[in-house]
Chain A
Amino acid sequence: EAQVTQNPRYLITVTGKKLTVTCSQNMNHEYMSWYRQDPGLGLRQIYYSMNVEVTDKGDVPEGYKVSRKEKRNFPLILESPSPNQTSLYFCASSLGFAGDTQYFGPGTRLTVL
């Protein structure tokens, strides 16, 4: 089944404890992206990647890191999480051309205490 998977689905952590949220897609998509969803703000793009080893900032990159060492995986790294990073995170992927449809993962709900 074609899908985008994220792990973990739920995570409660404490301020300053490094964490990684994994994202994997099995559709051989070139493009991948991370978003955070907050009430009243919709989804805001954190980082995106057009291809392996190519990443770029979205609208809210501060406090996050990403890497794209292989096409199928695009992990999101929070090196020193803070409470304002408590949010619902979505990973998405697409074939990689202008106007293409993005396919979303099920989401990761992160709470930083």
Chain B
Amino acid sequence: AQSVTQLGSHVSVSEGALVLLRCNYSSSVPPYLFWYVQYPNQGLQLLLKYTTGATLVKGINGFEAEFKKSETSFHLTKPSAHMSDAAEYFCAVSPTDSWGKLQFGAGTQVVVTP
């Protein structure tokens, strides 16, 4: 069975500082990997995903993530935080042999301080 772990339920960053959100998965076969963002009182929207090919993936709003198979990780980064990045971020995985199932991590709430 696969699982998804996000380190840190809350992260506080200063405006202009690096944003780093950690995601590790456990799976015998590398799954499809996703980062979704949820702004207050809204549904989720996709930030970026890794399915195949280049392991460094660029997404919307200046975010990127790198798939590291040896570390079973898919950490999300943004070089310079903006106030509008305040939201909850979810890492999610989908097994390649049963792609209808999508499993989410517990989420990381990001607070951006001036």
Contacts and interface: CB of A to CB of B under 8 A. Distances in A.
B106 interface: yes
A106 B41 CA distance: 8
B90 A98 contact: no
Contact of A99 (B4, B43, B94, B105): B94
Given A98-B32, A99-B94, A44 B43 contact: no
A17 to B, nearest CB: 26
Nearest to A6: B43
Interface string A77-113: 0000000000000101000011111101111000000
A19 to B, nearest CB: 20
Interface residues of B, number: 27
B102 A45 contact: yes
Nearest to A55: B100
Contact of B49 (A31, A43, A101, A107): A101
Contacts of A41: 106
A31 B12 CA distance: 36
Contacts of B9: 40
Contact of B44 (A45, A50, A90, A98): A90
A102 B106 CA distance: 18
B100 A42 contact: no
Interface of A: 4, 31, 33, 35, 40-45, 48, 50, 56, 58-59, 90, 92, 97-102, 104-107
Interface of B: 4, 6, 9, 32, 34, 36, 42-46, 49, 51-52, 90, 92, 94, 96, 99-107
